[in-house]
């Protein structure tokens, strides 16, 4: 596995591959790799000739009161895991390489970034502006044929699909299913912040989603019934969510009923960790 730190090195490494007609897959990450990231790498490895993983803790998607400084970082461990998964190129730039002095451009997707995590009282649309700007840059840097994202960050995946469609970026976006621990907790780099007792409480999120799925399977499709079933589980675990909302999986407009592909998304602060999870009801994820 080759490690590159500059855009020029990355492009130099990829140019001959592209000329030879080899397909390129990109997996953007902020490191602190877990099985969720590894599933994306495996999917890329199966489908593409050349696999690039980016490792960059993007400062512009963290709010002033968020955990940028505390975010877990261990490049050596991440590089070893990436190499084990058959990654060809690790792109690990410094912040100044991505945001050189005078950097002045922001890419924003207007519609779906102002709700759920993007609501002004939460992370705000600036969070997604940070994501869409860095993802646009990574797609321009690597020019992959396919880029891989996780359904765990459902709103992020939707916003990135929107971005790529609106700006005609020539890449296929593939969204991979959420990887969970055996007890249901969605894997997240932020799970490292949880004490054993907090981890137990955090199970409330996935259990709320499973309760909502059971409600739908029993034929109760109204938002009120679905949300009540989910909320009962959150209450049992002592979790007061930042949000628990049912929205269209196509455009994040509010849903009164599970109708076609409907997103149930939840976010909650558990100890120091801000956790999110989601499921698609009434359709395929
Ligand atoms: P991050 O390093 O948190 O920015 O995540 C990098 C990519 O991994 C994003 O596309 C995430 O959606 C994805 N990801 C994170 N956690 C999971 C998970 N538990 N299952 C599947 N994908 C995930």
CA of residue 54 to ligand 1 center, whole Å: 12
In the block, tokens 């922001």 appear at 106
237 in active site: no
Atom of ligand 1 nearest to the CA of 180: 19
For residue 283, what pLDDT is reported?
A: 63
Q: Whose CA is nearest to atom 12 of ligand 1?
A: 150
For residue 260, what pLDDT is reported?
A: 87
For residue 242, what pLDDT is reported?
A: 98
53, 87 in Cβ contact below 8 A?
yes
For residue 284, what pLDDT is reported?
A: 44
Which of 9, 25, 42 is CA-nearest to residue 143? 25
Q: Is 39 helix (H, G, I), strand (E, B) or coil?
A: helix
* Average pLDDT along the chain, 285 residues, taken 10 residues at a time: 98 98 98 98 98 98 95 97 98 98 98 96 96 98 98 98 98 98 97 98 98 97 98 98 98 95 98 98 67
CA of residue 37 to ligand 1 center, whole Å: 6
* Distance of alpha carbon 88 from alpha carbon 73, whole angstroms: 21
* Distance of alpha carbon 253 from alpha carbon 96, whole angstroms: 37
* Distance of alpha carbon 4 from alpha carbon 43, whole angstroms: 22
Pocket test for ligand 1, best of 30, 40, 59 (most atoms within 8 A of CB): 40
CA of residue 79 to ligand 1 center, whole Å: 16
Q: Is the overall model pTM greater than 0.85, yes or no?
A: yes
* Distance of alpha carbon 2 from alpha carbon 71, whole angstroms: 25
């Amino acid at each position: 596995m080759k490690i590159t730190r500059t855009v020029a090195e990355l492009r130099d490494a990829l140019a001959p591959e592209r000329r030879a007609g080899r397909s390129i897959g990109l997996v953007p990450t902020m490191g602190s790799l877990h099985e969720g990231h590894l599933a994306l790498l495996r999917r890329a490895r199966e489908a593409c000739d050349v696999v690039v993983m980016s490792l960059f803790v993007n400062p512009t998607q963290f709010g002033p009161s968020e955990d940028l400084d505390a975010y877990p970082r261990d490049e050596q461990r991440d590089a070893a895991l990436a190499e084990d998964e058959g990654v060809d190129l690790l792109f690990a730039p410094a912040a100044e390489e991505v945001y050189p002095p005078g950097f002045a451009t922001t890419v924003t997707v207007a519609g779906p970034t102002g709700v759920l995590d993007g609501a002004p009282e939460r992370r705000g649309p600036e969070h997604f502006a940070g994501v869409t700007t860095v993802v646009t840059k990574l797609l321009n840097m690597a020019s992959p044929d396919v880029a891989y994202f996780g359904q765990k960050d459902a709103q992020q995946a939707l916003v990135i699909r929107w971005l790529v469609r609106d700006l005609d970026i020539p890449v296929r976006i593939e969204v991979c299913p959420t990887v969970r621990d055996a007890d249901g907790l969605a894997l997240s780099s932020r799970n490292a912040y949880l004490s054993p007792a907090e981890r137990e409480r955090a199970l409330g999120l996935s259990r709320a989603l499973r309760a909502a799925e059971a409600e739908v399977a029993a034929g109760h499709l109204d938002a009120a019934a679905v949300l009540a079933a989910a909320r009962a589980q959150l209450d049992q675990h002592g979790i007061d969510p930042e949000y628990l909302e049912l929205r269209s999986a196509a455009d994040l407009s509010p849903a009164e009923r599970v109708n076609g592909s409907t997103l149930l998304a939840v976010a909650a602060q558990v100890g120091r960790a801000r956790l999110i999870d989601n499921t698609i009801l009434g359709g395929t994820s």
